[in-house]
C-alpha cells in the first residue's frame, strides 16, 4: 500500500481544513445549545422582564453597543437592572411614545430610544467595572437578578445567532478595549465574546482591571476542551450561589 507524502504547503492546508471543520462543529453545537437554553429560560426571562418594567417604569431590555469578533459591533441585550429614579417618568414617555420615537432620536446623552421593549445605549464610556452598592440598583429584585446573572439570560439569543459563544471574553465597548487591552486588542477580538469566562467563575465582580484583562487573554491563548468544560461547570455553581456578584 502506497502512502501519500505531502509537502509543507499541502500539510498546512490539510491542517487548516481540519481546524476549520472542528470550529464549525463547535459553533453549530454552541448555537444549538444557545437555542435550547434560550427556550428553557424564556419563562424566567419573561417574568423578570415584566417585573423590571413595572419597577422601573421603563423598557425592560437594554441593548448596549459592544465590539464582537473581528472588530464587528453588535447590540448586546440585557435586562434592565439599573435606573435613575429621577428619570423614570421621562424614560417611560420615551419608551412608550410610539411612532414619535425613532431609532435616530435621543432621550438622554448616550441613549438611543426605540418603541417597545428595548432601549439602545450607545454611550462608550471606559468603565472600570461593576461597583458594589451602585446607587442605580434601587430594587432588591434587580439586585437579585444581577447576583444570579438573570439579567444576562437574553444574551443566549446572541449565542443562537452566532454573535457570541458560551465561553469567551465578555463583550466590551471600544473605549474599554483601547484602555485595558492596548496592543492586544486584535488578539482578543480574534474570538467571539462569551457569556462566561475565567474571571466570571474565579471572582466575578470582585475581579478588576488589569487582572480581568490578563485572565481574558490567558483564556484566549489557552482555551481547550478541559478548560471549556471546567468554566461551564463552575458557571452553574457561581450562578446558584451568587457570590462575588453585584
Strand ranges (E), the chain:
61-67, 73-79, 111-113, 118-121, 165-167, 194-196
Residue 94, pLDDT score: 39
Q: Quote the pTM value.
A: 0.78
Render each residue's pLDDT in the chain as its tens digit; 246 residues.
Answer: 445 454 554 454 445 444 555 667 888 999 999 999 999 999 999 999 999 999 999 999 999 999 999 999 999 999 999 987 655 444 443 343 333 333 433 334 344 444 468 999 886 554 555 666 677 788 899 999 999 999 999 999 999 999 999 999 999 999 999 999 999 999 999 999 999 999 989 888 788 889 999 999 999 999 999 999 999 999 998 898 877 665
Give CA–CA dist 8/12, Å, rounded.
6
pLDDT score for 90: 42
Compute the distance between CA of residue 70 and CA of residue 42 in angstroms, rounded to an integer: 30
Where residue 162 falls (left for φ over 0; alpha for ψ -120 to 50; beta otherwise) is: left
State residue 138's pLDDT score. 83
- The grid coordinates of residue 238 equal 457561581
pLDDT of residue 40: 97
The DSSP-derived string for 124-179 is --------TT-TT---HHHHHHHHTTGGGGGGHHHHHHTSSEEESPPPB-HHHHHH
Residue 154: partners with Cβ closer than 8 Å, 6 or more residues away: 45, 61, 77, 78, 79
Amino acid at each position: 500500500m502506497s502512502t501519500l507524502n505531502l509537502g509543507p504547503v499541502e500539510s498546512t492546508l490539510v491542517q487548516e481544513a481540519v481546524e476549520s471543520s472542528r470550529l464549525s462543529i463547535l459553533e453549530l453545537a454552541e448555537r444549538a445549545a444557545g437555542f435550547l437554553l434560550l427556550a428553557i429560560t424564556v419563562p424566567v426571562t419573561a417574568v423578570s422582564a415584566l417585573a423590571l418594567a413595572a419597577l422601573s417604569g421603563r423598557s425592560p431590555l437594554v441593548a448596549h453597543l459592544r465590539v464582537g469578533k473581528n472588530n464587528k459591533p453588535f447590540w448586546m441585550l440585557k435586562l434592565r437592572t439599573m435606573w435613575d429614579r429621577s428619570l423614570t417618568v421621562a424614560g417611560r414617555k420615551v419608551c412608550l411614545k410610539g411612532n414619535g420615537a425613532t431609532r435616530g432620536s435621543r432621550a438622554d446623552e448616550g441613549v438611543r430610544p426605540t418603541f417597545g421593549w428595548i432601549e439602545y445605549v450607545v454611550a462608550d464610556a471606559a468603565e472600570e467595572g461593576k461597583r458594589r452598592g451602585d446607587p442605580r440598583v434601587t430594587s432588591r429584585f434587580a439586585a437579585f437578578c444581577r447576583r444570579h446573572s438573570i439579567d444576562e439570560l437574553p444574551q443566549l439569543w446572541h449565542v443562537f445567532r452566532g454573535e457570541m459563544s458560551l465561553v469567551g471574553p465578555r463583550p466590551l465597548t471600544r473605549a474599554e478595549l483601547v484602555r485595558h487591552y492596548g496592543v492586544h486588542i486584535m488578539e482578543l477580538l480574534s474570538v467571539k465574546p462569551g457569556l462566561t469566562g475565567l474571571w466570571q467563575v474565579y471572582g466575578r465582580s470582585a475581579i478588576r482591571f488589569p487582572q480581568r484583562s490578563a485572565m481574558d487573554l490567558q483564556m484566549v491563548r489557552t482555551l481547550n476542551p478541559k478548560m471549556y468544560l471546567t468554566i461551564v461547570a463552575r458557571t452553574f455553581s457561581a450562578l446558584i450561589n451568587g457570590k462575588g456578584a453585584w
